[in-house]
Amino acid sequence: MLSEIKNICCIGAGYVGGPSMAVIADKCHFLKVTVVDIDSEKIDNWNNSNLDKLPVYEPGLREIIERRRGKNLFFSSDVNKTISDSDMIFISVNTPTKTKGLGAGEASDLKYIESSARQIAKYAKDETIIVEKSTIPVKTAETIQKILETCKKPEESISGEGSVFHVLSNPEFLAEGTAISDLFDPNRVLIGGENERAIKFLYGIYENWIAPEKILTTNIWSSELSKLTANAFLAQRVSSINSISALCEVTGANVSEVSKAVGMDNRIGKDFLKAGPGFGGSCFKKDILNLIYISKFYGLFEVASYWESILEINKWQQERISKIIVTKLFGNLSEKKIGILGFAFKANTNDTRESPALYICKDLIEEGAKLSIYDPKVNDEKIRLDLQKVITNKNHKKITTSNCVYEVSNNSDALVILTDWDEFKNIDWDKVNKTMRSPAWIFDCRNILSKNNMTKTNLNLWQLGNNL
Ligand code: UDX
Ligand code: UDX
């Protein structure tokens, strides 16, 4: 029987698994932490001595890797062996939206969760705690538990005796770009589960750096549903302010002023009220689709359509921006060069999943524009790979990528700011002005520019939610 936790592992060395395990290793030197992944190239990059090659960019992450890698933090492709050495196994694999079959377009595809559970059932030792960290539909813990129970045939298990498994839900609330500070000082840690002893072991890890009053224990389904609900509420705030941004443009109000005034009400709060080109990232859309699916499943169609509207506003906001760009450029983008500043779904990450840039770039290319794209952390290969999925083959030659703002602006008819990188707040507009083709437009879709910095130029500025 498990008496203490010494070895933990995490299946999935992605944006969640990598940083969250790095922080556990940093805070708990007495634990051996191993992160495994089926993608051996990714593991090689986590092990690369050149820290610029780490698969995930997060401020503060490379310093932790430098401190703990090879000491109590390891990255490995040997999934089976690591599973059998571990007392506690976190599952942090991706759970994309299903593209076919029952629930296609809404439900999460749990194939990776399922294959991980089967692997655990086969290779784990006598008593193991399984922690679901991936955001998953409500009741997934039950599925994992069933797979573990039915697959742990003694003759197939490593010990020959079959194993005892306890499944906990421990959703991760980190936001990309601030993952390390979120993990060091989270608002709360949520542990859902039924088995007291298993909960105590996981609690025992977190209490090494997190105050007990911030560690909540709940039943397993509350924990799963809380994660989906938190993401849905955050996305809902973004869609709410984005809907108001359009109203500001036609009435002459300024959305930044409205956000500030509204957010100063303590009951509303100031966070997540920044208008922009719509939310992206791997979670918001997928989690809302999960809520929609589960609501429909239980016959709650009004609930489903409420959450559907949050996604509709998000899509509409992106389409609206594309249309405004076309209209301002005399309704014609054919043979025009448009510079795209920012491709990641938000600043301080190299993640492009569901980035608004994908959809806006696609619209502009389909209108005939040639794009020159620059993002401080997303490289040429990644940009091309992503766009290949949304545009037709013949349009690939309409894309170039650059290494700096001033290369992008050269001979451009417009610049479109899509990611809120700090670098874009300090652009030398005089320099840009000299390189662009007149009449030149700057579309600030993140509201990060100050008009005062452009007064000496003849650049035209359009800012989201602000009828200048
Ligand atoms: C997140 C969250 O964990 C999940 O809740 C969210 O819903 C989607 O993405 P994230 O870390 O951001 O996960 O995903 P990703 O960066 O894609 O990492 C997942 C990793 O799991 C990948 O590296 C993939 O290779 C790995 N994986 C997947 C396995 O190791 N085994 C599998 O069977 C499947
Ligand atoms: C989100 C949740 O914040 C996090 O708790 C959860 O674990 C995973 O999903 P993440 O997707 O990394 O994190 O980023 P987040 O900061 O939430 O931003 C999501 C999207 O909303 C981004 O595209 C961002 O630009 C956009 N956003 C956010 C706005 O447009 N306006 C805002 O005010 C805030």
CATH number at residue 91: 3.40.50.720
Distance (Å, rounded) from C-alpha 463 to C-alpha 167?
A: 48
On whether both 192 and 339 belong to a single domain, the answer is: no
Residue-level pLDDT at 152: 66
**What's the number of domains the chain is made of?**
2
- Nearest ligand 1 atom to the CA of 286 is 7
On whether both 201 and 106 belong to a single domain, the answer is: yes
Residue-level pLDDT at 411: 96
What tokens were used for 429? Answer: 């507009």
**Is 19 near ligand 2, meaning CB less than 6 Å away?**
no
Domain boundary among 218, 239, 269: 218
Evaluate whether residue 1 is within a structural domain.
Answer: no
Residue-level pLDDT at 397: 86
- Nearest ligand 1 atom to the CA of 108 is 7
In the structure, what pLDDT confidence band is assigned to residue 219 with cuts at 50, 70 and 90?
A: very high
Give, for ligand 1, the residue of 93, 108, 182, 183 to mutate: max count of ligand atoms closer than 8 Å to Cβ: 93
Residue tagged 């984005």 (tokens): 242
**Mean of the per-residue pLDDT values of the chain:** 94
Number of H helices, E strands in the chain: 16, 14
Residue-level pLDDT at 148: 87
The predicted model gives 80-108 an average pLDDT of 92
On whether both 31 and 175 belong to a single domain, the answer is: yes
Residue-level pLDDT at 342: 98
115: number of Cβ within 10 Å: 14
Evaluate whether residue 184 is within a structural domain.
Answer: yes
**Is 398 near ligand 1, meaning CB less than 6 Å away?**
no
On whether both 289 and 197 belong to a single domain, the answer is: no
On whether both 188 and 42 belong to a single domain, the answer is: yes
Q: Residue 444: pLDDT above 60? A: yes
On whether both 360 and 418 belong to a single domain, the answer is: yes
Evaluate whether residue 2 is within a structural domain.
Answer: no
Say how many Å lie between the CA of residue 181 and the centre of ligand 1: 21
**Is 282 near ligand 1, meaning CB less than 6 Å away?**
yes
Evaluate whether residue 53 is within a structural domain.
Answer: yes
Give, for ligand 2, the residue of 57, 178, 234 to mutate: max count of ligand atoms closer than 8 Å to Cβ: 234
Give the domain range for residue 36.
Answer: 7-218
The predicted model gives 252-258 an average pLDDT of 96
Give, for ligand 1, the residue of 94, 118, 228 to mutate: max count of ligand atoms closer than 8 Å to Cβ: 94
The predicted model gives 103-110 an average pLDDT of 87
Q: How far is CA 275 from CA 116, 237, 295, 349, in A?
A: 39, 10, 28, 19
Evaluate whether residue 94 is within a structural domain.
Answer: yes
Q: Which ligand is nearest to the CA of 446?
A: 2
Residue nearest to atom 15 of ligand 2 (CA): 175
Residue-level pLDDT at 159: 53
Q: Give residue-wise pLDDT tens across range 58-88.
A: 999 999 999 999 999 999 999 999 999 999 9
Q: Which residues contact 110 (CB under 8 A, 6 or more apart)?
A: 95, 136, 137, 140, 143
- Nearest ligand 2 atom to the CA of 287 is 9
In the structure, what pLDDT confidence band is assigned to residue 2 with cuts at 50, 70 and 90?
A: confident
In 3D space, the residue among 309, 174, 139, 344 whose CA is nearest the CA of residue 235 turns out to be 309
Distance (Å, rounded) from C-alpha 22 to C-alpha 178?
A: 14
Q: Which residues contact 49 (CB under 8 A, 6 or more apart)?
A: none
Residue-level pLDDT at 161: 59
Evaluate whether residue 365 is within a structural domain.
Answer: yes
The predicted model gives 369-379 an average pLDDT of 97
On whether both 167 and 38 belong to a single domain, the answer is: yes
Give, for ligand 2, the residue of 95, 238, 350 to mutate: max count of ligand atoms closer than 8 Å to Cβ: 238
Residue-level pLDDT at 17: 97
Evaluate whether residue 298 is within a structural domain.
Answer: yes
- 248 as an active site residue: the answer is no
Say how many Å lie between the CA of residue 345 and the centre of ligand 2: 9
Q: Residue 156: pLDDT above 60? A: no
User: Which residue out of 10, 283, 361, 445 is catalytically annotated?
Assistant: 283
On whether both 41 and 175 belong to a single domain, the answer is: yes
Residue-level pLDDT at 140: 85
- Nearest ligand 1 atom to the CA of 17 is 11
**Is 38 near ligand 1, meaning CB less than 6 Å away?**
yes
On whether both 170 and 138 belong to a single domain, the answer is: yes
SS3 state at 68:
helix
**Is 42 near ligand 1, meaning CB less than 6 Å away?**
yes
On whether both 230 and 210 belong to a single domain, the answer is: no
In the structure, what pLDDT confidence band is assigned to residue 394 with cuts at 50, 70 and 90?
A: confident
The predicted model gives 98-109 an average pLDDT of 87
Domain boundary among 195, 218, 241: 218
**Is 285 near ligand 1, meaning CB less than 6 Å away?**
no
Evaluate whether residue 329 is within a structural domain.
Answer: yes
Say how many Å lie between the CA of residue 11 and the centre of ligand 2: 24
In the structure, what pLDDT confidence band is assigned to residue 143 with cuts at 50, 70 and 90?
A: confident
**Is 259 near ligand 1, meaning CB less than 6 Å away?**
no
Q: Residue 324: pLDDT above 80? A: yes
The predicted model gives 184-198 an average pLDDT of 96
On whether both 292 and 414 belong to a single domain, the answer is: yes
Residue nearest to atom 16 of ligand 2 (CA): 175
CA angle 457, 458, 462 (to 5 degrees): 100
Domain boundary among 218, 245, 264: 218
The predicted model gives 380-403 an average pLDDT of 91
SS3 state at 140:
helix
Residue-level pLDDT at 421: 97
**Is 461 near ligand 1, meaning CB less than 6 Å away?**
no
In 3D space, the residue among 96, 143, 137 whose CA is nearest the CA of residue 290 turns out to be 137
Residue nearest to atom 33 of ligand 1 (CA): 112
Q: Which ligand is nearest to the CA of 445?
A: 2
Distance (Å, rounded) from C-alpha 404 to C-alpha 431?
A: 13
On whether both 133 and 273 belong to a single domain, the answer is: no
Residue-level pLDDT at 141: 86
Longest dimension (CA), the chain: 78
Q: Residue 349: pLDDT above 70? A: yes
If you ran DSSP here, which 8-state letter would residue 254 be given?
B
Q: Residue 468: pLDDT above 70? A: no
Residue-level pLDDT at 162: 61
Residue nearest to atom 8 of ligand 1 (CA): 94
